[in-house]
Structure 1
Amino acid sequence: MAHPAVSIVIPVYNDPDGIRATIDSLVAQSTDHPHQIVVVDNDSTDRTPEIVRTYDKDHDHLTLVHEREIQSSYAARNTGIRNTDGEILAFVDADMTVPEDWLESALDTLQSTDADYVGCNVELTLPENPPLPARYDHHTGFPVEGYLESQQFAPTCCLFVRRAVFEDVGLFDHRLESGGDKEFGNRVHDAGYDLHFAADVTMYHPTRNSLRAHVKKDRRVGRGLCQLQRFHPDRYGTPGVPPRPSGIKRPERDLPTRDRLAFGALSRLLTAVRGLGYYEEYLAGDRRGDLEGVPRLLD
């Protein structure tokens, strides 16, 4: 497919079931709009690449590429961008699913608003008989609109960006383990581009159903907070003093008492986990000093 208008980039690492679900939903899009799907494997050690290759025969608009040098979802996204030529870049995480009209709805929003950077609505899906960590995740959710309004970014799992923006401000900061979505969105906002929330364009993300999954994520988030300060002190402050929680994902006060107490306790625990991750990164020092700064698309 020559010069597709939209390129969908999906980074993945060791998630064969998640990438299968995501690809199944993307190849079922009810649109004739030209688009390509680029899956970027971040050096998986399991069957993930094999699963992606099973789609090659029947879907010539799907491509598998690899990012083996840098273990970073942002490095993988950059590799995906460099292996596409779409005028619009869409980013989806492995394990997410989208309805059949997702791409058409997003393109309608981009055309009607003339926005350069669009965050989609994300709904979390619960398992049957959800445990406390799943219910907490579902309640606090993905407040994409709040992120855009108060922190000027959208998560990279639900993001559309015009290629011209990357050509102007650069790619994602591949040195970051977490927080690269915020750093990129802030850079786009500072450059004067329009950031927009697409309330009617919905994507689906499964909840994190175990305490272990939450701890793993929040520890990574804490490391990313320190890395943001280390690599971008002019915007995020000097390393050594972690930023205060934004409060965007704080449990609501009108919850039943039992849930309010349980969610509040879990929220405090995960705040402490982020602090642990922050100081682990702070004490470890700059482990990625050999990497260049924010890479450029045209380099």
Structure 2
Amino acid sequence: MDDQNTYSSVGPGISIIICTYNGKTRLDKTLNHLTKQEFSCPLEIVLVDNASTDGTKEYAEKWWEQHGVASISFRTAFQPVPGKSYAQEMGYAMARYDLLLICDDDNWLIKDYVQIAYDIMMSNAKIGALGGWCEAAFENERPDWFQKYGRYFAVSKQGSRSGDITEKKGCLYGAGMVIRKKHWQELNALGFTPLLTCRKGDKLSSGGDTEYCYALRLLGYRIWYDERLKFIHFMPTGRMNLNYVSRIREAMSESNFVVSSYLDQLEHRRVTRHTFRAQFIRNMGLPFIKSIFKILFGSFEQKEAAKEYFRKLKRLAFDYDEYEANRRSISRWLPESKQNVAIK
């Protein structure tokens, strides 16, 4: 194990990137599943401790010394700057191999996940990001509401069948996603600066994986799903409540507004201040009155829909400048040949 942060060259193989904040209690099963992978491709694990205060890095190192396998290289690093995106950047830089598999500290990959992912990515150079699907494992009992709201915990299939989902779902959730280091390097060379940063410690945030998929699409790469790629997502009791669902939905709403700039760029859609004002007017009137009623007297779902209505209304009224700044940020790094819409 070592803490070096960069390697100048990469080769064929998979680097599993685990970014964790205070993940000491979650890592045992996650690492255990990784030791049981059946593979023939070169494989390593890069674990980045993102400003933990519970001794996660030291725990992981000791665990691997006792239970690790010789066929998988294991390295760790400490990222003192809070924010999952900062930890991922460090992990990507450390990676020795071109394929980067994002494995959260509560993801349990099935035994052939790595090899299937490697084979798919090596067979099609046009794939920029590859994802699978997951089922939930609960610390205690499964809540009655989970079937309806499980998608907010990224517990869902990402396509109706395996293959190209670029023009369908168009993006992937980060857990279990596989990307290419050379694409990450390409984006960095262009000056790509993410508009979103992911989770910081216990603070909920969302959308960094979606933004990355849209950035890849702007460069012409494809988004792929394969139902053979399955993992288990552990659900701790502390997150199994509707208040947490509400917080996730708010975080997703904020990120969706940001990544809407990418969607509009992809679809060559011109959006002006007048567009925002016209949409604001269309959303006023009776919908406003109905949403107030839902906030006061509605069910959980009705209240959440009303909250989203008022978030949208607020953005249409006040956030055009932020939207325009986001479009300009994209245009600064996007190659001229890929820009079909002038932003004024």
TM-score of the superposed pair, with normalisation by structure 2: 0.64
Q: 2:180 aligns with which of 116, 138, 162?
A: 162
User: What is the aligned partner in structure 2 of residue 260 from structure 1?
Assistant: none
Q: What pairs up with 1:81-230 in 2 under 5 angstroms?
A: 81-114=92-125, 115-126=127-138, 129-138=141-150, 141-145=155-159, 148-170=166-188, 173=194, 175-177=196-198, 178-207=206-235, 208-228=239-259
The 1:89–1:138 alpha-carbon spacing in structure 2 relative to 1, beyond 3 Å, is same
What is the CA deviation profile of residues 145-203 of structure 1, one whole-angstrom value per residue up to 9, with x for unaligned ones? 27754342111112111222212233772742321111110111121112211111111
User: What is the aligned partner in structure 2 of residue 10 from structure 1?
Assistant: 18
Name the larger-Rg structure: 2
Distance in 1 (alpha carbons) for counterparts of 2:19 and 2:102 = 8
Distance in 2 (alpha carbons) for counterparts of 1:272 and 1:48 = 40
Identity of aligned residues (%): 18
The 1:47–1:269 alpha-carbon spacing in structure 2 relative to 1, beyond 3 Å, is farther
How far 1:51 moved relative to its partner? 2.4
The 1:76–1:271 alpha-carbon spacing in structure 2 relative to 1, beyond 3 Å, is farther
How far 1:214 moved relative to its partner? 1.8
8 Å CA contact 1:96, 1:204 repeated in 2: yes
Structure 2: gaps spanning 5 or more residues = 2-9, 199-205, 280-297, 334-344
The 1:165–1:50 alpha-carbon spacing in structure 2 relative to 1, beyond 3 Å, is same
How far 1:231 moved relative to its partner? 9.9
One-letter amino acid of the counterpart of residue 45, structure 1 = T
Structure 1: gaps spanning 5 or more residues = 244-263
Aligned-partner SS, 1:116? strand
User: What is the aligned partner in structure 1 of residue 75 from structure 2?
Assistant: 63
8 Å CA contact 1:125, 1:138 repeated in 2: no
One-letter amino acid of the counterpart of residue 173, structure 1 = P
User: Given the alignment of the two structures, is residue 31 of structure 1 paired with residue 59 of structure 2, yes or no?
Assistant: no
Distance in 2 (alpha carbons) for counterparts of 1:225 and 1:238 = 18
One-letter amino acid of the counterpart of residue 174, structure 2 = T
Aligned-partner SS, 1:31? coil
Distance in 2 (alpha carbons) for counterparts of 1:119 and 1:218 = 22
Distance in 2 (alpha carbons) for counterparts of 1:122 and 1:149 = 22
How far 1:109 moved relative to its partner? 2.2
User: Given the alignment of the two structures, is residue 52 of structure 1 paired with residue 83 of structure 2, yes or no?
Assistant: no
